[in-house]
Amino acid sequence: MPSTPLFTPRRRRLLVAAAGAALVAAPALGVRAQTPAPPRRLTPAQTEGPFYPLTLPADSDADLLRNGGLRYAKGQPAWVEGSVTDLAGRPVRGAVVEIWQCDEQGHYHHPGDGDRADRAFQGFGKTVVDGEGRYRFRTIRPVAYGGRAPHIHVKVKLDRRDLLTTQLYAQGDAANARDFLWQRLRNDEDRAALTVAFVPGSDGLLAQFALVVAA
């Protein structure tokens, strides 16, 4: 009795059609799996301002509510935290984050401000990011003074390079719209990148400020 051929014309057509469908479907699946993340934007830079310390204080740690043996009990205590990453989302290991700001009465530790700042408020702090690029400071919610909206100055350094100098603003503060530096930012996206919410937390307010730098 003659055997039935393994590949009949009809079976060949079915196999070719199935293979073609698989080739069409495979790239579509690959595209979905490898869709790149939206591009990151560099954190906008702003002026350093006139009150960066002429000499760094003896106490320059990340807790601005303790200056040596003194404790600052004015204002609204707040944590300011975030991460330092590059445009690819990688943590910038070894980066140093510095912040400086005025006290609750609007005074800086600086001769240009008449040295009127409360001695209990450290006013300046710095910290090295951890292995995931994260940093954290203990301070107060910034306050307005003169014609400036509440803000905290921020600087990011790596080795001897300054990677970024900018300012952090308080979301929803009415003084933002009157602040000439906030208004000078190029567009709403840049203003949103530098304006963060101070929300109630378990231990005072919390503000999260992500920093993206060209490292």
Which residue in the block uniquely carries the two structure tokens 């990688």?
90
What pTM does this model have? 0.82
The residue among 41, 31, 101 whose CA lies nearest residue 72 is 101
pLDDT tens sequence across 5-47: 554 555 555 444 544 444 444 444 444 555 556 678 999 999 9
Determine the Cα–Cα distance for residues 128 and 175; give it in Å rounded to an integer. 32
The topology (CATH level 3) of 66-212 is Protocatechuate 3,4-Dioxygenase, subunit A (2.60.130)
| pLDDT beneath 50, residues of the chain | 1, 7, 14-16, 18-31
Determine the Cα–Cα distance for residues 66 and 61; give it in Å rounded to an integer. 9
Q: What is the residue extent of each domain of the chain?
A: 66-212
